[in-house]
A = this chain, B = another copy of it.
Amino acid sequence: MNNVYISAYGLTKFRRSNDSIYLLAFEAIRDLINRFNIDKDSIDGIIVSTTSTEPYIANILADMLSLKPKISYKHEQLCSSGTSAIASAYAHIKAGLCNNILLIGVDKYDTIGKRLDWDIYRGEFKDPVYWAALYAKAHMKSFNTTKEQLALITVKNRKNALNNSYAYFQKPVDINDVLNSKTIVEPIKLLECSYVCDGAAAVLLTNKESSIKINNIGTYSIGASISSIRDLRSIESTYMAARIAYNNANINANKIDVAEIHDAFTICELLAYEDLGFVEKGRGGRFVEDIIDNKANVMINPRGGILGTGHPIGATGVAQIIGILNAIEENKYGLVHNMSAAGTTSNVIIMERI
């Protein structure tokens, strides 16, 4: 089967605006085409990752571009739509259904995708922050993880975002800013929550050899009901998706040089350190400190994570991929971790610069 590469990308500034979803998407596409001098007529597939309710977006964008693609559809899996669509684009190319897929992630700040309105029979936790609070309490109780360690995740990611001109947040915060921000649900503070904003991110997946290769993909969903979450100190879907990806790639976590982690809330990033295998279970709090002290042997969220860049839901997974594209060095591996709905679904993409 063909290998699949990512040969181009485009982004919008992440923002809050009155711009339509089409304008946002087109801005990222134009950036991709101009930045990499892409012959748009080579594009034979277009997939749109979004939680927008607008129908037929992929086909409307194809028309705006005067394309006649073989594959054209809208793809939705809440906050992990972007990497779920990456897996699908990869599959379509591997299966020979097309050669060059333009994948656009796009969403608006007011999308219905930011609420878990269907989350009725698992406690009416319609806002994901309730789940973050449960996970945080469990980790703090079991492993003596501190509020300060969690807050440092925001400090670190907001700092990294200062080097990313596309990020929503462009001001640093210190630990006291985080700890003194409003409590949303104890122990989660306002500055530990990602901000849902407007944005678009586009990548071109292709079977034509290029320097960034998709090495392997691991995806996994657990049941979303409270009873299926057996241990609040771990995200099972992340653990499983990572093992699938590592096994398929025949590598382990030590091989990963740089990772984009789904830090929708600080506790999500901390749990992912452990569930992705960068550090053993329970050591996530100390690992934050190690990262800040430059003692960790993996770079985490160099583009600023979701806490630093903002969270245009359908675009996030695609923007994470671009984060790795820009950070990964030759002969090294990068990893993207993207998840949805309190860990119901996790997708892990292993990339390689060749």
A298 cross-chain contacts in B, Cβ below 8 A: none
Q: Mark contacts of A305-321 with chain B using CB atoms, 8 A cut-off: 1 yes-contact digit, 0 otherwise.
A: 00000000000000000
Q: How long is the Cα–Cα vector from A238 to B74 in the complex, in angstroms? A: 21
The reply to whether B219 and A60 form a contact with Cβ atoms under 8 Å apart is: no
When C-beta atoms are compared, the residue in chain B nearest to A45 turns out to be B219
Highest count of chain B CB atoms <10 Å: which of A73, A81, A117, A220: A73
How many chain A residues touch B (CB < 8 A): the figure is 56
Is A67 an interface position by the 8 A CB rule? yes
Is A55 an interface position by the 8 A CB rule? yes
Copies of this protein, total? 2
A68 cross-chain contacts in B, Cβ below 8 A: 220-223, 240
When C-beta atoms are compared, the residue in chain B nearest to A1 turns out to be B1
Highest count of chain B CB atoms <10 Å: which of A69, A70, A77, A222: A70
Stretch of A83-91, A172-180, A193-201, A263-271 contacting B (4+ beta carbons < 8 Å): A83-91
Shortest CB-to-CB span from A226 to chain B, Å, is 11
The reply to whether B56 and A53 form a contact with Cβ atoms under 8 Å apart is: no
Is A281 an interface position by the 8 A CB rule? no
The reply to whether B224 and A60 form a contact with Cβ atoms under 8 Å apart is: yes
**Which residues 90-107 in A have Cβ within 8 Å of B in the complex?**
90-92, 94-97
Is A244 an interface position by the 8 A CB rule? yes
The reply to whether B76 and A345 form a contact with Cβ atoms under 8 Å apart is: no
Known A76-B55, A78-B56, A95-B94; contact A70-B223, beta-carbon cutoff 8 A: no
Q: How long is the Cα–Cα vector from A324 to B155 in the complex, in angstroms? A: 58
Is A302 an interface position by the 8 A CB rule? no
A221 cross-chain contacts in B, Cβ below 8 A: 59, 62, 67-70, 72
Known A55-B118, A59-B78, A59-B221; contact A345-B72, beta-carbon cutoff 8 A: yes
The reply to whether B76 and A223 form a contact with Cβ atoms under 8 Å apart is: no
When C-beta atoms are compared, the residue in chain B nearest to A46 turns out to be B221
Is A75 an interface position by the 8 A CB rule? yes
The reply to whether B84 and A95 form a contact with Cβ atoms under 8 Å apart is: no
The reply to whether B341 and A118 form a contact with Cβ atoms under 8 Å apart is: no
Q: How long is the Cα–Cα vector from A68 to B223 in the complex, in angstroms? A: 6
Is A251 an interface position by the 8 A CB rule? no
Is A51 an interface position by the 8 A CB rule? yes
Binding site for B on A (CB under 8 A): 1, 51, 53-56, 58-60, 62-63, 66-78, 81, 84-85, 87-88, 90-92, 94-97, 112-113, 116-118, 217, 219-225, 228, 240, 244, 340-341, 344-345
